[in-house]
Amino acid sequence: MASEKLVIVESPSKARTIGKMLGSEFQILASMGHVRDLPEQSFGVDIKNNFTPQYEESKSRLKVIKQLQSEAKKAKDIYLATDPDREGEAISWHLKELLKKNSKAAFHRVTFHEITKNAISKAFQNAEDINMNLVNSQQARRVLDRLVGYQISPLLWSRVEKGISAGRVQSVALRLVCEREREITAFVPKEYWNFLIDLEASAKGSGKLFTSKLFKVDGEKLEAGNKEEADKILKAVRGSSGFRVASVETKPRKKYSPPPFITSTMQQTASGALSFSPNFTMRVAQHLYEGVDVGTGGPVGLITYMRTDSFTVAKEALASCREYIASEIGPDFVPPSPNFFKNKGAAQEAHEAIRPTDVFMTPEKVKPYLEDSQFRLYTLIWKRFVASQMSPAEQKQTTVDIMTKGSDGREYNFRTTALVTTFQGFMKMYEIDEKSEDENDMEKAPSMLAELRKNEPCFMKDLKTEQKFTEPPPRFSEATLIKELETNGIGRPSTYASILETILKRVYVGKDKGKLIPSELGFKVNDFLISSLPELFEVGFTADMELKLDKVEEGEIEWTEMLKNFYSDFSIWLEDAKNIGSPESHKAESIISLINKIQNWAPKEKRGKKTYDDEKFFKSVKEKFESSSTISANQWNALLSMALKYAEQLPDLEKEAVRNGYAAEITAHREKLKLSEEKRESSKASETDIEKYASIFTFFNSVKWGEPEKRGPRVYDDKKFFNSLKSQAESGKILSDKQMNVISRMASKYKEQITDFEKLGELLNISAPSEAEGQASAENNEAVAKYLEIMSKVSNWEEPVKKGRRIYNDKTFYESIADQHKNGRKLSDKQIAALKKLADKYSASN
């Protein structure tokens, strides 16, 4: 139903929540994210025209755009209510640019950090214009990433591997992981020894038992690097003249509450406490922010906006939290004034920390309405916020030094520290107090230590040694890598999860027991980028670019000027990288002069969609060399291949190669071409195979292929894939067993359209099912349908897990099985068993 007041948000769930709050006079529509972006298949940035982005409408959003344009024509007021950050501001701007052409409506920008009736009402009463500084900051980031990714990826294709890519920020994250792995590999453990003594104070039989650790020898830090040194210390202490209390010091100390969550700390804590990946954490948080029906008459946002780097908390929320603490925990747990936490320099003060929208909406109250993952994350956020406004814990730390004179004449100092909590403060909020390893050790020490007195005698009960070795730095987990990125000023709240997702998806990094390990490909990509473009992928340089983007956001610098300054350096770095491996000028001149003598060029050759023309290619390289005196490494290798191909017309080739210093390269290239030829010959199909392929492909002539399907990041197009196999066979190449299996599966999928399917089945070795198999298949189909019904209701999927070389992705597996079942393809027993296991797993979690 049309309305004069149109509100546009990003997602349907956000639209439903806001719709309940605004009422029937507003029409709420979802843009489903970005409606315009840079083109997928072309560069999309006009560098010469002040880095103008050449946006195009997102193909996957055309239906949505049409609906938005239609409704915008009827509206008098359009409210752009997208998320309150760079990305959200950019979506609002793109929507306005798209809709204002066909609408006379007034555009209003409304921002809110929580989806509650009060916050929405205030936002609509205080509508503003779009913040172009925020938009320009997002545009600058998008263009920067396109400039780097689009121009560096081809370098990777030619030097490392086809089809891979590089990213401005992701590649720095990869660098950190690779450097840490090399630190670990290069680490040499150093031996050291600990000495622990069990003592009894006052008198034997007093029962005042405690353990102390050797701390210093003759006032210097203990160093025992091998068993021989350790044995000497043992002997000296065992032969000592007796032990006495040298000092007892008790100090009060306070442990202050941690600040409320920001994006990075929420991701880190959820990783450690809940085993959630950063990406999964953000998905769950998005649901909590956009609204959940908790039995109050419609959905309501349970937490504030989850992409933030600010510790700021609204005054009303602080007052409400203090009221909750006083009434539900106790007035002693409320500090005299609210706790405030200092933001980092680049933090956006206008944003809030991540907190519950209503502190009185406790985890137990909302538990019946939440999925398990939502409940667990909400509990984490709620507890952290309440704890952040509680009084500090009060503790007493007692340190006792025990001295003895060893039989070697040296003075040995043993130390014990005990920690006693006298007032829990914020730690009462946690079932398990948040303690460091040192604090746990201190609390294990007996509280009677404070009762010891100076010069009080002690008696040795036992003396033990522990052989230890220093350990290498730990591998990064997703949580600790985010912390490292944040510490170094790399990335922002909206990008942390996507940075990690990208390096994992590209298989540059894998996960083993939660730790990030670079793959062989990851090392290759990293090493190439660091050696070829060292300045671009410096941690400090990337952090500096983030600060400049922040300055664009604050309106301090012009975004196009920032890009201009960056590109002037980047273009030089890029050109230098392209020339790595290029031949010396005299080598290039020599081989170009030789090839220029060729009279009889091979005819043009069409392979697939590309046409290969030796003469045309040579002339283009020659022209480049004549204008710049350089050629690229790829062009040099192509000329070496060409010289060997036309060797019969170049009698002076070997002589010229020796004279100009590239004889070894000619020899190596000749060997490489020989291996390529052998590989090409081995991939040729026999006459029998060619005839068989032709017969098989004929059966598919009448097939009407299904529409391409998108699953995750990949698009599955049966027609396109079939035609690629057909082209391969028609070019005389043999089809692998795997490819023949794919054709068999396609035959089974489209068998209703294939005339004389039995004959095709014989060619492909597809056997018809027996009557018994048919019955079993029917029973299996019922079970499969039941399991798929269960899985279709899952909204929060677990993150993909890498085990060895394989990546296990629950959602992708389900979609693949559902597609297979939908198209009538038989599932194997192994697939059915795996599907059952998955259905049981998600049934239990829900």
Residue 304: DSSP 8-state: -
Rounded CA separation 776/780 (Å) = 6
Question: Which of 79, 289, 305, 646 is labelled catalytic?
Answer: 305
The answer to whether the beta carbons of residues 427 and 393 sit under 8 Å apart is yes
Sign of the torsion angle spanned by Cα atoms 534, 535, 541, 542: negative
Six-digit token string for 450: 């404070």
Print burial letters for 464-489: b (CB count within 10 Å at least 16), e (below 16): ebeeeeeeeeebbbbbbbbbbbbebb
Helix (H, G, I), strand (E, B), or coil: what is residue 213? strand
The CA-to-CA distance between both ends of the chain, in Å, stands at 36
Query: Which DSSP string do the residues of 816-833 spell out, in sequence order?
Result: HHHHHHHTTPPPPHHHHH
Phi, psi of 19 (to 5 degrees): -60, -40
The answer to whether the beta carbons of residues 306 and 289 sit under 8 Å apart is yes
Residue 327: DSSP 8-state: I
Strands, E, within 604-721: which ranges? 605-607, 610-612, 709-711, 714-716
The answer to whether the beta carbons of residues 841 and 789 sit under 8 Å apart is no
The answer to whether the beta carbons of residues 290 and 283 sit under 8 Å apart is no
Rounded CA separation 836/829 (Å) = 11
668, amino acid identity: A
The answer to whether the beta carbons of residues 735 and 782 sit under 8 Å apart is no
| 662 belongs to the catalytic site | no
Rounded CA separation 531/315 (Å) = 51
The H or E element spanning position 270 is: helix 263-274
The answer to whether the beta carbons of residues 116 and 300 sit under 8 Å apart is yes
Helix (H, G, I), strand (E, B), or coil: what is residue 790? helix
Strands 52-53 and 36-37: unpaired
The answer to whether the beta carbons of residues 591 and 640 sit under 8 Å apart is yes
Six-digit token string for 30: 């979802």
CA atoms within 13 A on the CB side of 54: 12
Angle (nearest 5°) at CA 823 between 818 and 826: 80
Six-digit token string for 239: 């032969």
48: exposed, middle or buried (Cβ count in 10 Å: 0-12, 13-18, 19+): exposed
Rounded CA separation 700/707 (Å) = 16
Catalytic residues: 305
